[in-house]
């Protein structure tokens, strides 16, 4: 298929609207077509800029907490018991609504993080230099990160497995630095992102597998670090790499 025809599908691919087989074919095309890869990278950057602009005026957690406390604060004088019972019911309803809003907000945060990680994965693969340190030797890749990110991490030896380390780079999610490792499985690339668990939007997300756009994702926390595994391979392949890296 000509590049012009593929370009017409890039937005659907980045938004996860293509069928899995077609998405996999386009992913392969991007690895071999510099023009389409550059176009995909530009669109990812635009998406991230729009997302960042949308969060610029998002209320802080502290402001939302103050509003919730203000709404829930009792403001009545001494009243008959039947009126107090009615007020209690109203307060319970308010608490339930607040809890529902909190869950919805956390779900939105999780989906936003997954979407942005998928964008970072696509941007790296679409780049002419997906990694800044190229090596399959963990003893070369791990020391390269020293002084470039504010934490250290373990990098298990995966020799003898189906996964091959291609290298790594430093990346950022909402100004939070992360180690970005890229592994290869058959003809697919898989990204592994490592953040400090206490930093930024990735902190405190629930563990487990998920699906965002055209990618499967697994996440867990260990020793103060948050791990994400992102790729267009099957969920079982994602889980297999996660286990090799120390995920449960």
Residue 161 sits in a domain whose CATH number is 3.30.200.100
Burial 178-201 (b: 16+ CB within 10 A, else e): bbbbbbebeebbbbbbbbbbebbb
Q: What is the pLDDT of residue 34?
A: 66
157 lies in some domain? yes
Model confidence, pTM: 0.61
Say if 78 falls within a structural domain: no
Q: In whole numbers, what is the pLDDT of the chain averaged over residues?
A: 77
- Can you name the residues that pair with 184 across neighbouring β-strands? 164, 189
User: Order of strands across the sheet with 215-222?
Assistant: 133-134, 163-173, 176-185, 188-196, 225-231, 215-222, 208-212
Judged by average pLDDT, the poorest of 3-17, 70-84, 124-138 is 70-84
Q: Which pLDDT score is estimated for 100?
A: 43
235 in a structural domain: yes
Question: Is 93 among the domain residues?
Answer: no
At residue 101, the pLDDT reads: 40
pLDDT confidence of residue 104: 57
Say if residue 155's pLDDT is above 90: yes
Q: Please say whether the beta carbons of 233 and 218 come within 8 A.
A: no
Task: Examine the pLDDT at 201 and tell me if it is beyond 90.
Answer: no
Q: CA-to-CA distance for 179 and 171, rounded, in angstroms?
A: 6
Tell me if 193 is assigned to some domain: yes
Task: Evaluate whether residue 220 is within a structural domain.
Answer: yes
Residues 173-185 have a mean pLDDT of 91
Rounded CA separation 46/40 (Å): 10
- Is residue 194 one of the residues assigned to a domain? yes
Confidence of residue 95 (pLDDT cuts 50, 70, 90): very low
By residue range, what is the domain housing residue 133?
A: 3-55+106-244
- Specify if 67 maps to a domain: no
pLDDT at 28: 73
Quote the number of domains for the chain.
1
Question: What are the pLDDT digits (tens) for 111-134?
Answer: 888 888 888 998 888 888 889 999
Cα dihedral 185, 191, 192, 194 in deg (nearest 10)? 170
């Amino acid at each position: 298929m000509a590049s012009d025809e593929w370009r017409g599908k890039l937005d659907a691919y980045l938004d996860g609207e293509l069928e899995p087989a077609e998405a996999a074919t386009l992913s392969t095309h991007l690895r071999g077509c510099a023009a389409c890869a550059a176009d995909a990278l530009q669109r990812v950057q635009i998406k991230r800029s729009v997302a960042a602009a949308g969060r610029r005026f998002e209320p802080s957690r502290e402001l939302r907490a103050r509003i919730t406390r203000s709404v829930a604060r009792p403001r009545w004088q001494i009243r008959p018991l039947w009126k107090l019972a009615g007020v209690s019911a109203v307060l319970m309803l308010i608490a339930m609504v607040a809890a529902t809003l909190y869950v919805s907000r956390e779900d939105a945060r999780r989906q936003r993080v997954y979407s942005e990680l998928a964008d970072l994965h696509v941007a790296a693969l679409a780049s002419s230099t997906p990694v800044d340190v190229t090596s399959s030797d963990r003893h070369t890749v791990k020391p390269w990160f020293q002084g470039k990110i504010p934490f250290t991490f373990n990098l298990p030896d995966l020799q003898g497995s189906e996964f091959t380390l291609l290298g790594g780079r430093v990346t950022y999610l909402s100004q939070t630095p992360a180690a970005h490792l890229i592994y290869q499985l058959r003809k697919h690339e898989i990204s592994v992102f490592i953040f400090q668990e206490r930093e930024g939007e990735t902190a405190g997300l629930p563990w487990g597998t998920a699906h965002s756009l055209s990618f499967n994702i697994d996440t867990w926390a260990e020793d103060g670090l948050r791990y994400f595994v992102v790729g267009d391979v099957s969920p079982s392949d994602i889980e297999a790499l996660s286990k090799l890296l120390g995920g449960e």
